[in-house]
Amino acid sequence: DAGVIQSPRHEVTEMGQEVTLRCKPISGHNSLFWYRQTMMRGLELLIYFNNNVPIDDSGMPEDRFSAKMPNASFSTLKIQPSEPRDSAVYFCASTLTDRISGKQFFGPGTRLTVL
C-alpha cells in the first residue's frame, strides 16, 4: 500500500503566483481531507470530500483557496493569488468511510513557502 501521496513535497513561490498542491488518496478510500498546519493556528481542516463531493468547506480561509476532486484518485488544492501568510504545511488525508470512526491516514505534507 503506497499510502497517501502528495506532491510537491516542497514549494517555494513568490507572492501573487498560483500554487497547486496535489493529492492521491489511498485506493478504495472514499473520503479525503485537506489540512493546513501553522505554528500560530495549529492543524486546521480546510475542506473535506466524500465520494468526490465537497461536504464541508467552512475551513477554507477565503476565495483565493479552491479545492477539487475530479475523481476518486486525485484532488487538488489551489491558491490564487498566493500570499506570504499562506506559508504552511498542507496535509492531505484519506479514510475508508465518511464516519468519524474511520481512521484518517495522512500524506507526508507539502511545505509551502510564499516569499
The site for another protein (CB under 8 A) is made up of: 31, 33, 42-45, 48, 50, 55-56, 89, 91, 93, 95, 97-106, 108-109, 111
Name the residue nearer to another protein (CB basis): 1 or 99: 99
The nearest distance, CB 76 to another protein, in angstroms, is 20
End-to-end Cα, the chain, rounded Å: 36
Name the residue nearer to another protein (CB basis): 26 or 109: 109
Strand (E) or helix (H) holding 7: strand 5-7
The nearest distance, CB 63 to another protein, in angstroms, is 21
99: CB partners within 8 A, 6+ apart: none
- Single-letter code of the amino acid located at 43: L
The nearest distance, CB 107 to another protein, in angstroms, is 8
**Residue 113: how many CB atoms within 10 A of its CB?**
14
**Residue pair 67/75 in contact by the 8 Å Cβ criterion:** yes
The nearest distance, CB 52 to another protein, in angstroms, is 14
Name the residue nearer to another protein (CB basis): 64 or 111: 111
